[in-house]
Amino acid sequence: MGFRSYRPDTPFVVRDFSEELLQLLTTKRGTEGDLVFPQQRRLKKQFRELIDQAVFHGGQLKLLSDGPRRQFKLVYPDAQMAYMAWTAGQREFIPLLLGIYHLVPLGQARTAGDVQWVVIEEPEMGLHVKAIQAVMLLILELLDRGYKVAISTHSEAILQIVWAIQELKATSAPPASLWKVFDLEPARWDVGQLAERCLQLSYRVFFLDYDGDAVSATDISRLDPGAEREAEKTWGQLAGLSERVNSIVAALNSDAE
């Protein structure tokens, strides 16, 4: 729905993003004809390839006319899939992709106007771990462009990537090591400078927990598995289950021997 269709108390960012989508749907602005993804001028080639492998699997995202209406469809060689036929991950990922398009403008500009902060809520929703890696690469692209990015997450996979970046920084690892974290071939990726700059940035992690009637925030930025504090040791409880299961299975195997 458009900006004016929302209640006045709806946050401005929601209404503004809705208006951007409405403009895209009605004017084709920001697309190469009907093609929304992949676009040769949008995102680095390797990023587009990884997104395709993880999310679209050879399909193209297009804006197609259906009578007086326009709608997004995933187009494959032998099928066209409307929104209700998409996977949960595709439905969650596409608004994020369109937001990235807005933040990574065409041309020489590095950022979108005076935007400084990007807030992303649970980008892992509905996504396979390979798709989460693609999302995190896009987030690194935003960081490299100078944005400050705040993420809320319940995903251990996202924290694993942040932890790996922290460890690479602490050990002064070469930038190519970052691509090994993502299981990519460094020789194929022409983004070595991006990796180098991202390893120079600061990353903070906070665990938000209920404390009586209030919410407390604990800084667990080190994500140290050997930390004394339970919140940091278990990465805000996200790694607690795997740690507990591993210890139980290890004890059972030890007793069996």
Q: What is the enclosing helix (H) or strand (E) of 15?
A: helix 12-27
pLDDT digits (tens, 9 = 90+) for 90-132: 999 998 998 898 899 888 889 988 899 999 999 999 999 999 9
Q: Is the pLDDT of residue 15 over 80?
A: no
Q: What are 37-95's pLDDT values in tens digits?
A: 999 888 888 889 999 999 999 999 998 877 767 788 999 999 999 888 999 999 999 98
Q: For residue range 208-227, list pLDDT tens digits in order.
A: 998 778 888 999 999 998 89
> Is the confidence at residue 190, as pLDDT, over 60?
yes
Q: Which pLDDT score, from 0 to 100, does residue 31 have? A: 64
Q: What is the pTM (predicted TM-score) of this model?
A: 0.84
Both structure tokens of 121: 């809520």
User: Token pair for residue 156?
Assistant: 């251990």
CB 143 within 8 A of CB 149: yes
Mean pLDDT of the chain: 86
Structure confidence at residue 205 (pLDDT) = 96
The answer to whether residue 207 scores a pLDDT higher than 80 is yes
Return the pLDDT at 246: 74
Q: Which residues of 169-194 are buried (b: 16+ CB within 10 A; e: fewer)?
A: eeeebebebbbebbebeeeebebeeb
Q: Assign 241 a pLDDT band (cuts: 50, 70, 90).
A: confident
45-49 contacts, C-beta under 8 A, 24 or more apart:
46/184, 46/188, 46/189, 46/190, 46/191, 47/134, 47/137, 47/138, 47/141
Percent of the chain with pLDDT over 90: 45
Using CB atoms within 10 Å of the CB of residue 102, give its burial: 0 to 12 exposed, 13 to 18 middle, 19+ buried: middle
pLDDT value at position 69? Answer: 73
